[in-house]
């Protein structure tokens, strides 16, 4: 009875060919045990690497680690769970994605804490035990606006004439200034203004020039009472 050994005179698959050739590429025949049927074909050792495609979540874990770190960490954990159940490839990618995600999260938390501390330091006006003085601004009263004085020129003086200068047919306006106490209550000191002859109130026409007070109506005379002008309302 034969126990063990290599069948059919086959060379050792793990050694060199006795004739000096390359190692045999054929499979080996396992040793026979008592009562087992002889082996008819070669048996190849199982492959040490699992087959299949790379897990998608493992790849996404690396991508989202730089886009949104919490999402990258979550995808990495999902990828590891699926790889453990299905035997897919990509475990190294999932671990890299998890590592990068957690490093970015830690750095973000540290930066947030530093920002909060520095912002509180800028907001607080003083540290405990220090006295601060708030500057006060004094508002100056605005000066009053400058006053401007406008001098209105007096109206142009109307030309006047004396009784001695009047002629028959002239038109005049008469302005009474004050009573003349030396001549009686019906006599007034007047101003005579030459005007254009037109029908309106206050316009008088010189009808006569006399040397005595013999006018039938209103009379204008000089202070010496040597010239008398008889006047009446202008009727056109």
- Torsion of Cα atoms, 228 then 233 then 235 then 236, to 10°: 50
Give the highest mean pLDDT range of 35-39, 148-152, 189-193: 189-193
The one-character DSSP state at 201 is T
Per-residue exposure over 146-180, b if at least 16 CB sit within 10 Å of its own CB, e if not: eeeeeeeeeeeeeeeeebeebeeebbbeeeeeeee
The one-character DSSP state at 165 is G
CA dihedral (64, 66, 69, 72) positive or negative: positive
Please give the residue that has the higher pLDDT: either 113 or 157. 113
pLDDT digits 0-9 by tens, 179-190: 877 777 777 788
Give the highest mean pLDDT range of 6-15, 43-52, 165-174: 165-174
pLDDT digits 0-9 by tens, 14-65: 444 444 444 444 444 455 555 555 555 444 444 444 557 999 999 999 999 9
**pLDDT at res. 92:** 95
- Cα–Cα distance measured from residue 193 to residue 231, given in angstroms and rounded to the nearest whole number: 13
- Cα–Cα distance measured from residue 195 to residue 204, given in angstroms and rounded to the nearest whole number: 9
């Amino acid at each position: 009875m034969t126990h063990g050994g290599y069948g059919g005179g086959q060379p050792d698959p793990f050694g060199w060919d006795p004739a000096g050739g390359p190692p045999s590429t054929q499979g080996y025949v396992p040793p026979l045990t008592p009562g087992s049927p002889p082996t008819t074909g070669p048996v190849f050792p199982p492959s040490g690497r699992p087959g299949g495609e790379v897990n998608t979540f493992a790849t996404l874990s690396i991508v989202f680690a730089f886009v949104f770190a919490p999402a990258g960490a979550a995808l990495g954990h999902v990828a590891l769970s699926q790889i453990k159940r299905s035997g897919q490839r990509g475990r190294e990618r999932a671990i890299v994605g998890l590592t990068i995600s957690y490093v970015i999260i830690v750095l973000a938390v540290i930066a947030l804490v530093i920002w909060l501390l520095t912002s509180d330091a800028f907001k607080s006006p003083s540290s405990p035990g220090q006295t601060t003085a708030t500057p006060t601004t004094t508002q100056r009263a605005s000066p009053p606006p400058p006053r401007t004085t406008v001098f209105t020129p007096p109206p142009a003086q109307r030309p006047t004439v004396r009784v001695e200068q009047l002629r028959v047919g002239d038109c005049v306006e008469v302005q009474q200034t004050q009573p003349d106490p030396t001549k009686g209550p019906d006599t007034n000191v007047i101003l005579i203004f030459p005007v254009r002859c037109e029908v309106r109130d206050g316009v008088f026409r010189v009808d006569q020039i006399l040397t005595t007070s013999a006018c039938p109506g209103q009379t204008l005379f000089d202070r010496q009472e040597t010239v008398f002008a008889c006047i009446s309302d202008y009727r056109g």
